[in-house]
Structure 1
Amino acid sequence: MTVQTAFRAGLLNPAHPVPEGLTDGHAQPAGRRYGVYRNNVTVSLRDALATGFPSLISLIGRENFDHVARAHLRQSPPTSPLMMHYGAGLPDFVATLEQLEHLPYLADVARIDVAMRQSYHAADSTGIDPTLLQSLDEESLLAARFGFAPSMILLRSQFSIGSIWHYSLRGGDKPSGHPEDVVILRAEYDPEPFILGTGAGDVLHALHSGTPFGEAIELGGEDFDLAALLNLLLSQHAITAVDH
């Protein structure tokens, strides 16, 4: 193991010994300074995770979150200098923790936090003119395939993740306990999570996968509100192309 490899290996593990031969600027053993630097790195990464996961902090508290974050960062250190992407694997890590298994929805709620950041940093796009859909005849509309903004992200869960997210951070209505689909949309600069109505998740997933409009809306079922879904997507500039 090279000194550089040993230096990196010990940064996130306080039990790891100071690399042999490591000295400070005065050619003295760098034990204490290395310890300070190691602590600073851990704190910085932990704080970066805390910034990216406000819902988790709200749901389990900052002290518990810090324990989870430290365990995660030691297992999964950053692989990119672009820190806005760090923590994408935290929801999967949370799902493996026995001490949090009594809160089975946590991982999916944390995925909203990840998706919010991904949406924020996604490429810009321009939504279609809403009158375009109105100008199509029925046959053309039913055969049309839609293109969507890169910032649009659909999340599907067996838990009330949208309601839990809003309730924990914004004081929304108390979660019902029913499964929810959430779509992250970014009309301008800031993304927003929207809870989809009955059947809308199935329809939107199909449309996003390239299914023609007519086939996709058949998946919504009797209680699906097509007007509500289209109004949401158009008002948030999420539909960027219509191939007819």
Structure 2
Amino acid sequence: MVGRPISPIAILESNWSVTKATKRKATTEDEPPLKRQRGVMSDANTNPAQSTLESVIVVHSSSDESTVLSGHTSRADFEAKYLERKKLGQGGFGSVYAGHRRSDDLPVAIKHIPICDVPCQKVMLNGRACRIPKEVLLMHKAAGEPVTVGKSAAVSILDWYDLDQEVILVMERPVPSMDLLRFMDENYGPMAEDVAKIIMKQLVDAAIDLQAKGVFHRDIKAENILIEFSSDGHRVRLIDFGCGCICKKKRIYIQFSGTEH
């Protein structure tokens, strides 16, 4: 069944939504939330020689990538670099705002997460044991270096900030786009078969790519799937890796994580 055409006005701004449905993150597979430490979450009690491969991830990265993974601690730096505008959505683990990077007007999505709700991951970064937000690591693994913005199904992480009471993630914001739920609503019913086939194939390809990179999203749903519009047609982009984890080979996942309904 072919739906009605989408209004051009409806796709002028990216509709990056955060679902209000109940979410539950994993417990035993996650490190504890970040404590009140600044910058790279250094773990003074971590001895890399005593850590298992499952608890510490070794990150081999260039200096540019290391800067992204290391994060920043200055709110003044954040405000000088990014302009935050209207609120796009709010969920159980944070609020997301539209914004732009001041230097080049690049559209960004800015996610604010209370410090107590930020699960972290132990990593070895440039020979140093530290802890960073797990969502930052997952997005970095999924999308690659910041210079590759727009080239992967997963949106890119550009910056993150460890501030007094919150962690701020700055991410790529595809424009124009809208989430899949709104996309279906705009069509007033089932999508045309040729459109549905394109979207489904891209979703399968994205899941395969994430698995190859060792990333398990665990909350792929209509609200976390953006449909980006361009002259080349519809393109699937994945957002919100907050419920995700590192995918380990031959490991069976039996604990629920994600949106319950």
Q: Which interval holds the TM-score relative to the shorter structure?
A: under 0.3
* Structure 2 length-normalised TM: 0.21
Bigger radius of gyration among the two: 1
* Structure 1 length-normalised TM: 0.22
Bigger relative contact order (CA 8 A; separation at least 6): 2
